[in-house]
Amino acid sequence: MGNLRFRHDQAHLKIHDAILTYFGLDEFNIRGRNQIIYEDKEWGCRGRHGLVFLTRNSTVVTAQTGGNAILPCVIRHLCDGTVSWVRKDNFALLTVGKGNYAYDERLQSLHPFNTNDWTLMIKFVEMSDAGVYECQVTSHPPESIFVSLRVVEARAVIEGPIEKYVKLGSAVDLICVVAESAEVPEFIFWYHNEKMINFELDSTRVLISNLAHRRSTIRIQKAGKEHSGNYSCEAKNAFPASTYVHILKEEKPAAMQTSGSGVPQTFWLLPVLVRQMLLSL
């Protein structure tokens, strides 16, 4: 009996000095010591079991504006069939084989050598790209599956109120989260009064990033007057966010102070003002 080995998507069966290789693409060959003795690239097509889509029908792909959308279509037993991508809502023919028929340079049919993949890639995705796409094979009869593209607009969000009041000398965390993001951001940049500070931090202000969780934090260890101002964060292909930090000598600004009863002082003065207005009539 021969010796059977597996490597990636290939199976190798060695019988004496000959090696039979099955490529996982319905092809095989028999190789001797220095040459291929026999090769059959259409072995799976003769007496074929029928064309098979390995990509599930009605697959949903999510992409964000400005990024890339990858619409999969993996086909087994394609043989002499031709793969086309069609947009279902307007029946526009996008690609045939590896050729682009849509006159849209953002579209590209990807078919890596010796694979079953016929991927449609859409670059610089726009909201108008959302919809249903058909991966169609010109077999007899024609067969197809549908892939839905969902497009989202990523946006940065700084947790908490738009304006933050911080007591002088205290610590504060500014937390930025990239929401509605279909891809892990390559970076999250922070700006203080429009100046990038990612690479200009010190012992009083540190950066804590977790890009896998789409999160970045600026931690001010001991707030000083120099830390006041506008802070903004932004990520690639996402709307930015900003917040304003006020550094105060007292715990709350004067406008927010209350009397001992917990009622703002303005409300204690209101009845007096109304009485004076009535007496003057």
**Confidence (pTM):** 0.70
* Residues 63 and 95 occupy one common structural domain: yes
Q: Is 22 part of a structural domain of the chain?
A: yes
Distance CA 178, CA 155 (A): 6
Range of the domain at 99: 52-152
Whether residue 165 is found in the same domain as residue 110: no
Domain boundary among 99, 117, 152: 152
Question: What digits encode the pLDDT tens for the residues 216-233?
Answer: 999 999 999 999 999 999
Residues 67 and 142 reside in one and the same domain: yes
Please give the share of the chain, as a percent, with pLDDT higher than 90. Answer: 64
What CATH number does the domain containing 103 carry? 2.60.40.10
Give 262's pLDDT tier (boundaries 50, 70, 90).
very low
How high does pLDDT run on average in the chain? Answer: 82
The predicted model gives 140-163 an average pLDDT of: 95
> What are the residues facing 167 on neighbouring strands?
248
**Which structure tokens are listed for 171?**
């610590």
The answer on 90 and 111 residing in a single domain is: yes
Please report whether residue 231 resides in a domain.
yes
181 and 91, same domain (yes or no): no
Co-location of 191 and 99 in the same domain: no
Judge if 112 and 56 occupy the same domain.
Answer: yes
Domain end, chosen from 152, 171, 204, is at: 152
Tell me, what's the pLDDT at 51? 84
Q: According to the model, what pLDDT value does residue 50 have?
A: 73
- Residue 99 shares a structural domain with residue 166: no
Q: What is the pLDDT of residue 79?
A: 83
144 with 159, same domain: the answer is no
How many domains are there within the chain?
Answer: 3
